[in-house]
């Protein structure tokens, strides 16, 4: 299992468009992936799950992956979240 924390810099947090990009990217990996925020946990491969976390600007989320490509999966998701500056 690999995990890493990242701060969401996007002005609108993880709303529909960035959440869709996250789900699409996460779905390209074999590993089980989740995101933790404010005591809640959601599957990153589920749009409803990501949106239900209600992540806002300047929030720190924890990305967790477990499986064959876990290290690459966490790295790519963190990189994507970092690039979501609007």
Catalytic residue IDs: 15
Distance CA 1, CA 41 (A): 15
- Which residue in 85, 66, 82 sits closest to 12, CA to CA? 85
Q: Residue 61 has which token pair?
A: 């989320």
Q: Are 34 and 41 in contact (CB under 8 A)?
A: yes
Angle at 5 (CA atoms; ends 4, 10), nearest 5 degrees: 130
């Amino acid at each position: 299992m690999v995990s890493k924390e990242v701060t969401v810099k996007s002005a609108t947090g993880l709303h529909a468009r960035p959440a869709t990009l996250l789900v699409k990217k996460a779905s390209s990996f074999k590993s089980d992936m989740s995101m933790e925020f404010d005591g809640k946990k959601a599957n990153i491969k589920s749009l409803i799950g990501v949106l239900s976390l209600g992540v806002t600007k300047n929030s720190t989320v924890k990305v967790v992956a477990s499986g064959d490509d876990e290290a690459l999966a966490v790295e790519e998701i963190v990189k994507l979240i970092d690039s979501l500056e609007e």
